[in-house]
Amino acid sequence: MNALYSLLFVFLLVLIPLFGVDAAHMRTFFGVCIPTTAFIIFIIGFVYKVVTWGRSAVPFRIPTTGGQFKSFDPELFKQNKLDCPQTGAQTFFRMVLEIFAFRSLFRNTQVSLHEGKGHPVVAYKSSKWLWLFAITFHYSFFIIALRHLRLFLEPIPFLPVGALDFVDGILQIGAPVMYLSDVGLVVGVLLLLGRRLVLPRINYISYVSDYFPLLLILSIALSGIYMRYYAKVDVIAIKELTMGLVTFHYVVPESITVSFFIHVFLVSTLMVYFPFSKLMHMPGVFLSPTRNLPNDSRAKHHVNPWNDPNIKAHAYADYEKEFGVPMAEAGLPLDNPENGVPKDEAEA
Amino acid sequence: MSDIPKADELFKSIDYNPPLTGWMETPVDFSPGHWCYPAKPEKIEYMDKKLPGLWGEPRKWLPSDADWKLPANWKETVVNGFRERLKKFRSLQLFMDICVRCGACADKCHYFIGSGDPKNMPVLRAELMRSVYRGEFTVAGKILSKFTGSRVMEEDVLKEWFIYFYQCTQCRRCSLFCPYGIDTAEMTMMARELMHLVGLNTNWIMEPVSNCNITGNHLGIQPHAFKDIVDFMVDDIEEVTGRRVKAPLNEKGHEILFITPSGDVFADPGIYTFMGYLLLFDYLDLDYTMSTYASEGGNFGSFTNNEVMKKLNAKMYAEAERLGCKWILGGECGHMWRVVHQYMDTMTGDTQWSGMTTPKSPVTGTVFDTAAATKMLHITEFTADLIKHNKLKLDPSRNDHLRVTFHDSCNPARGMGLLEEPRYVLKHVCNNFFEMPPATIREQTFCCAGGSGLNTDEIMEIRLRGGLPRGNALRYVQEQHGVNLMACICAIDRATLIPLADYWAPGVTISGTHELVANALVLEEGEVRTMDMRQEPLPGFEDEDDDWTPPTKEDA
Ligand code: SF4
Ligand code: SF4
């Protein structure tokens, strides 16, 4: 149901520019106004959210540790520097691997129950599918985004844009060059989508807001592929438009066809949607306090900005007042011998 | 325990397929057995005097009642408290926003593995809170509630929180596998803080909390009774070893303050571990004292809220100052060490007195820079260092009747990184050591299912279900290697693993690590022992000394 809703939404989104551009002749609206507004919303929303995170405190160091910590004897007990970092540099590498290799996800296992001989067996096996799907998807997306820079930069820098183009297009099928990342993105989205639809547990936890971004990205990819390989849009004209956007000299050349407007409209939707959704995991992954802090709070002092100095231990003096008599009887030392004298004796 | 199904029946009842109804529409089971008893009003009254405003109205109520007697402004209190904590904890704010519901954490939780209840998937457990966050605090959630899985705070939602946030042992296993390190344990802590504000709590947590504050330990053992118990243990040690050990209490002017969880003082098999500490310290002629006032290392405050956690933790430094101790040695405890390692110095470091120094072993001279800020050392670090420097004469063959495995406690494993020291100690004090399967130990260790205040009999079935992964791994080494003892470094484990093992791997006993150290420790040249610390005959001495009586604990 949630998946169907999402599909419906995306269809509607395609229809808007399809009719909007042709019927209403709102080329400037769809070519300039929408993407510019979307971009502004994206930036403001993104920054706002990150600032909100930044403004909430990190009172304690709470890294989740995955391996041996730095011991008193680093030779006898080898520290796992990546999963249990204690310095800034070690933590940095932990984060690099998290961000670029999805390392925690790589660790994923799957549990299964079996009837063993006479008693039950709980088995765990490594399960790297999600890692594979996710990494295919994210890298493809990332490379495609970088490749698009060629539309916004003049001259086009070889690094990384030109180089990426070259590597990405190595698998040359037909003309124009077929990009590996295009395939990767579509396949990645379909796999992630399929996983949500097929696995009962994942399906159970999925909302419209989980299907929608996948379908939206899929439609963006498909519209892009359509433009490039089938509709063969006028790239020169598009570059004119995009360069106009970044230099604030807006032009919408006549030779640009509707498929481009659909593509741009979908991308704009994604930009607007981004800061209000779970897609914010992208900046969020950098900020996670269980990952980006060194595990050193027993060795180094840290400050909790809202630590309340008025909270004090139950005073020993009160403790002794309460239990002084039996303490004295048991022969436990007292700070104040008077506490050891029973009440009635003290009065007598 | 009579209505608890047999192990194989329980196993067969687990179904990982979610129900047909969506999770928001699936009702929660409030029948007895699914929750811990709420706190007695007098416990709340006491704590409200000490830390006012955090506990709601003290009252009698039961989760099976329709009316939980919530205060009139409960909703406001919870929502405002939520807002406040979003500012105070970036973890909370971030974890509310960035979960992608990928499900990587879903089958990592022992409660889900043993129950199949989808709300025990960490992702859904956290969604119980996230849905409210989106509904109350985000624009998208307010307009598109159906599509984003949002809802507003309602009585039923709060009731659902009560059940499921008291079915999370804050073990953090989910966090290890989450691509963003989302720590459901952290959210459990916050949810519990919020529930406390409106008087939703459990007695098994609140009674220890108030006891810790009054008497210094969670069992409410008063100082003279504490001393009695220690004296009994001294007698028992003499019975086993012939040596009368010193057991200094509340004495001023010693170098080291020793603090262990009070579970070690009170119950089988913790007391044997405690005897192990005493014997070891006497053997070393260590300049130390224990304290009846700071007689609890375990911090039950960490199951309630930050304020109590700090208040209870602060007594350790307070006592070190009063007694003039230079550093603190800590016993075998799980959540105590999560608090000591990750929170202590940040919370209470400013109350350290000027005489405290970085721990330095008086026996080996090793300086433990790893504890330079807290001045607090874990006993397995201390002992591992002794063994490395050959300072202990050990006869591991005294443990030859034991085939040992090691259970990593969640907190030291995933909140500290203490993995190898206890293993090193164990391997030197016993000849037969076997690891459980890799997916169930070290950082991937499975919870005993009774941590974070859930170690109570009224939810035994839930505990046994949650204990399935650990129990099954134990059963595996029992069959493969004849393992008959599981050692651990946590007092809660020493209590909770016993019913767990009886149920899933009958025949395996539980012990602390220093019990085995004490068995192996050769006090003097040619010393012969006929029994172990439990006063059970060692192999070859079966005929003698089998008429012993267990130590009385009535005074406790
Ligand atoms: S693994 Fe992390 S991101 Fe994935 S569902 Fe669980 S909490 Fe969310
Ligand atoms: S912290 Fe442990 S008990 Fe709680 S949800 Fe995560 S895995 Fe389950």
Residues in chain B within 8 Å Cβ distance of A119? 7-8, 475
Euclidean distance between CA atoms B99 and B84, whole angstroms: 21
B chain contacts of residue A87, beta-carbon cutoff 8 Å: none
Task: Give yes or no for A208 touching B (CB within 8 A).
Answer: yes
Sequence-distant (6+) residues with CB within 8 A of B397 are: B431
Residues 6+ apart with CB under 8 A from B42: B58
The pLDDT, as a whole number, for residue A233 is 87
Token pair recorded at residue B66: 């329709």
| Amino acid present at B352 | Q
List the alpha helices (DSSP H) in B296-394. 306-323, 334-338, 345-348, 379-388
Task: Report the alpha-carbon distance of residue A165 to residue A171 in Å, rounded.
Answer: 11
Q: Once rounded to an integer, what is the mean pLDDT over residues A282-305?
A: 96
SS3 of residue B362 by DSSP: coil
Nearby residues of B194 by Cβ (< 8 Å), 6 or more positions away: B78, B81, B82, B85, B161
Using CA atoms, how far apart are residues A61 and A289, in angstroms rounded to an integer? Answer: 7
Please give the pLDDT value at position B492. Answer: 93
Q: Find the radius of gyration of the CA atoms of chain B.
A: 24
Rounded CA-CA distance A113/A124 in Å is 9
- Grouping H, G, I as helix, E, B as strand and the rest as coil, residue B327 is strand
Dihedral of the alpha carbons of B387, B391, B397, B402, in degrees to the nearest 10? -40
Q: Hey, what are B236's tokens?
A: 């028992």
Please state, in angstroms and rounded to a whole number, the distance separating the CA atoms of residues B104 and A95.
19
Q: Which protein residues are within 6 Å of ligand 2, measured from CB?
A: B 108-109, 111, 122, 125, 168-174, 184-185, 188
Token reading at A209 = 């807001």
CA angle (B190 as vertex; B185, B196 as ends), nearest 5? 125
From the candidates A58, A65, A115, A193, which should be mutated to test the interface with B, based on the most B CB atoms within 10 A? A65
Confidence class for position A163, pLDDT limits 50, 70, 90: confident
Residues composing chain A: 348
pLDDT digits (tens, 9 = 90+) for B469-512: 999 999 999 999 999 999 999 999 999 999 999 999 999 999 99
Higher pLDDT, A175 or A212: A212
A163: which residues sit within 8 A by CB, 6+ positions away? none
Per-residue pLDDT of B42-76, as tens digits, reads 999 999 999 999 999 999 999 999 999 999 999 99
Residues in A closer than 8 angstroms to B187, CB to CB, are none
Query: Which pLDDT value is given to residue A171?
Result: 63
Which residues lie below 8 Å from residue B25, measured CB to CB, with a gap of 6+?
A: none
pLDDT for position A26: 81
Q: Crossing angle of helices B90-98/B122-137, nearest 10°? A: 100
How would you write chain A as a 3-class SS string? Answer: CHHHHHHHHHHHHHHHHHHHHHHHCCHHHHHHHHHHHHHHHHHHHHHHHHHHHHHCCCCCCCCCCCCCCCCCCCCCCCCCCCCCCCCHHHHHHHHHHHHHHCHHHHCCEEEEEEECCCCEEEEEEECCHHHHHHHHHHHHHHHHHHHHHHHCCCCCCHHHHHHHHHHHCCCCCCCCCCCHHHHHHHHHHHHHHHHHHHCHHHHHCCCHHHHHHHHHHHHHHHHHHHHHHHHCCCHHHHHHHHHHHHHCCCCCCCCCCHHHHHHHHHHHHHHHHHHHCHHHHHHHHHHCCCCCCCCCCCCCCCCCCCCCCCCCCCCHHHHHHHHHHHHHHHCCCCCCHHHHCCHHHHHC
Does A309 contact B at CB distance below 8 Å?
yes
A135-159 confidence digits (pLDDT tens)? 999 999 999 999 999 899 888 888 7
- Whether B342 and A62 lie within 8 Å, measured CB to CB: yes
Q: What is the DSSP string of B16-38?
A: -SPPSS-TTTSPP--STTSSPPP
Task: Report in angstroms the alpha-carbon separations of A12 from A15, A20, A39, A264, B522.
Answer: 5, 12, 21, 15, 81
Helices (H), B119-222: 122-137, 139-143, 145-148, 155-165, 173-177, 184-197, 203-215
Percent of residues in chain B assigned helix, strand, coil, to nearest 5: 50, 5, 45
Is B222 in the A-facing interface, judged by CB distances under 8 Å?
yes
Residue in A69, A285, A301 nearest the CB of B417? A69
C-beta atoms of A64 and B183 within 8 A = yes
Q: Say if residue A172's pLDDT is above 90.
A: no
Residue B485 in contact with ligand 1 by CB distance below 6 A: no
Res B548: pLDDT: 55
Q: Between B11, B18, B440, which is nearest A201 by CB?
A: B18
CATH topology of domain A2-287: Fumarate Reductase Cytochrome B subunit (1.20.950)
Distance CA B132, CA B137 (A): 8
Question: B103 touching A, CB under 8 A?
Answer: yes
What is the per-residue pLDDT for B144? 85
Q: What is the pLDDT of residues A296-330, one digit of tens each?
A: 999 999 999 999 999 999 999 999 999 999 999 99
Beta carbons of A40 and B157 less than 8 angstroms apart: no
Count the residues in chain B.
556
A71:B121 CB<8 A? no
Interface of A with B in 238-297 (CB under 8 A): 276-278, 280-281, 284-285, 287-291, 295, 297
B509-529 burial, b if ≥16 CB within 10 A, otherwise e? bbbbbbbbbbbbbeeeeeeeb
The DSSP call for residue B342 is: I
Instruction: Look up residue B124 and give its two tokens.
Output: 């859904």
- A176 has a pLDDT exceeding 70: no
Interval between CA A87 and ligand 2 midpoint (Å)? 28
CB–CB of B97 and A302 under 8 A? no
Report the candidate in B113, B47, B54 with the shortest Cα–Cα distance to residue B81: B54
A84: contact with B, CB 8 A cutoff:
yes
pLDDT tens over chain B, length 556 residues:
458 899 989 999 999 999 999 999 999 999 999 999 999 999 999 999 999 999 999 999 999 999 999 999 999 999 999 999 999 999 999 999 999 999 999 999 999 999 999 999 999 999 999 999 999 999 889 988 888 999 999 999 999 999 999 999 999 999 999 999 999 999 999 999 999 999 999 999 999 998 888 887 788 889 999 999 999 999 999 999 999 999 999 999 999 999 999 889 988 899 999 999 999 999 999 999 999 999 999 999 999 999 999 999 999 999 999 999 999 999 999 999 999 999 999 999 999 999 999 999 999 999 999 999 999 999 999 999 999 999 999 999 999 999 999 999 999 999 999 999 999 999 999 999 999 999 999 999 999 999 999 999 999 999 999 999 999 999 999 999 999 999 999 999 999 999 999 999 999 999 999 999 999 999 998 899 999 999 999 988 876 555 555 555 444 4
Please state, for a pLDDT cut of 70, what percent of chain B lies above it: 97
Strand-pair category, A109-115 with A120-126: antiparallel
CA of B62 vs chain A CAs: smallest distance (Å): 30
Rounded to whole angstroms, how far apart are CA atoms A62 and B341?
9
* Ligand showing the shortest atom-to-Cα distance for residue B174: 2
A198 pLDDT exceeds 80? yes
| pLDDT mean across residues, chain A | 91
Domain boundaries, chain A: 2-287, 316-347
Which residues have C-beta within 8 Å of that of residue A96, sequence separation ≥ 6?
Answer: none
Token code pair at residue B496: 């909770």
Angle among Cα A145, A147, A152 to the nearest 5 degrees reads 90
The ipTM, to two decimals, is 0.92
Point out which residues pair with A114 in neighbouring strands.
Answer: A121
Q: What's residue B1's pLDDT?
A: 47
Q: Does A122 touch chain B (CB under 8 A)?
A: yes
Distance from the CA of B122 to the center of ligand 2, in angstroms? 6
How does residue A257 score in pLDDT terms, banded at 50, 70 and 90?
Answer: confident
**Number of other CB atoms surrounding residue B139 within 10 Å:** 9
Q: Which protein residue's CA is at the shortest distance from atom 6 of ligand 2?
A: B174
Q: Which residues in chain B have Cβ-Cβ distances shorter than 8 Å to A53? A: 90, 93-94, 97
CB A45 within 8 A of CB B328: no
Q: What is the pLDDT of residue B547?
A: 55
Mean of pLDDT values over A266-288: 96
Specify the pLDDT at position A119: 82
For ligand 1, whether the C-beta of B212 sits within 6 Å is: no
Q: Tell which residue, A268, A287, A222, has the closest CA to residue A54.
A: A287
What are the structure tokens assigned to A111, written together?
């549990």
Q: What is the pLDDT of residue B509?
A: 97
Asked if A125 and A110 touch (Cβ cutoff 8 Å), the reply is yes
Query: What whole-number distance in Å separates Cα of residue A191 and Cα of residue A13?
Result: 23
Residues of chain B contacting A326 with CB distance shorter than 8 Å: 222-224
- Location of structure tokens 């796992």: A80
| Cβ-contact B91, A58 below 8 angstroms | yes
**In the block, which residue shows the tokens 């660790």?**
A107
Q: Say if residue B336 is exposed, middle or buried (CB neighbours under 10 Å; 0-12, 13-18, 19+).
A: buried
256-315 in chain B: CB under 8 A from chain A? 292-293, 307, 310-312, 314-315
The residue whose CB lies within 8 Å of the most ligand 2 atoms, and thus the one to mutate among B447, B463, B496, is: B447
Interface of A with B in 167-206 (CB under 8 A): 199-206
**A148: Cα separation from own chain's centroid:** 22
Identify from B443, B445, B465, B470 which residue to disrupt to test chain A contact, counting A C-beta atoms within 10 A and taking the largest count: B443
pLDDT at B544: 52
Q: What is the DSSP string of B62-114?
A: -TTSS-----TTHHHHHHHHHHHHHHH-HHHHHHHHH-----TTGGG-HHHHH
Q: Does B437 touch chain A (CB under 8 A)?
A: yes
Per the listing, tokens 């025990």 go with B120
Nearest CA to ligand 1 atom 4: B102
Query: Which residue, judged by its Cα, is nearest atom 8 of ligand 2?
Result: B109
Rounded average pLDDT over A58-81 = 95
pLDDT of residue B184: 97
Burial of residue B502 (CB within 10 Å: 0-12, 13-18, 19+) is middle
Site to probe by mutation for ligand 1, drawn from B99, B124, B128, B174 as the one with most ligand atoms within 8 Å of Cβ, is B99
What is the C-alpha to C-alpha distance for residues A345 and A238, in angstroms, rounded to an integer?
99
**Nearest residue to B399 via CA among B543, B512, B483, B516:** B516
Q: Are the CB atoms for B297 and B261 separated by under 8 Å?
A: yes
Ligand with minimal distance to B106 CA? 1
Chain B neighbors of A117, CB-CB under 8 A: none
Of the candidates A18, A21, A43, A28, the one whose C-alpha atom is nearest the C-alpha of residue A244 is: A28
